[in-house]
Amino acid sequence: MYISGNTTGKVHLLNTHDPQDSDLDAAIPWPHVPKHIPGRPHNNTILRWANEGYNGVRLKTFHIASKRFTTRRYIQEFQDACTRVAPENRGVQQSARTAEDATLDAMGI
């Protein structure tokens, strides 16, 4: 990827293998990221997704100088990955709870 500026002041990451989607690769400054995610989550939530992840999936980010950025493509990849992972994790958590409940019931607790 290459970083390119233009006269509008936007920074674009130019993907040499996918030039049609350069708008998806436009760098989004960290304070503006919530506007690009449904439900407009709090900045701290998005920071947690980037640092710790959600269900094992992390939001990709990058730094230019000391500023943090992401892209619409990275947001979409994060949402798609979370959607694929979420049902499996819910089922595993539910199965674990059911097993624990059965054990506690057997113990009379």
Within 8 A by CB and 6+ apart from 81, the residues are 57
> Quick one: pLDDT at residue 74?
94
% of the chain with per-residue pLDDT over 70 = 64
Entry pTM: 0.60
Domain residues for the domain of 63 are 2-107
Q: What is the mean pLDDT of residues 8-13?
A: 52
- CA–CA separation, 46 vs 83, rounded Å? 16
Within 8 A by CB and 6+ apart from 5, the residues are 11, 12
Domains held by the chain: number:
1
Q: Of 62, 59, 66, whose CA–CA distance to 34 is shortest?
A: 59
**Residue-wise pLDDT tens digits, 11-63:** 555 444 454 556 678 899 999 999 999 899 999 999 999 999 998 899 999 99
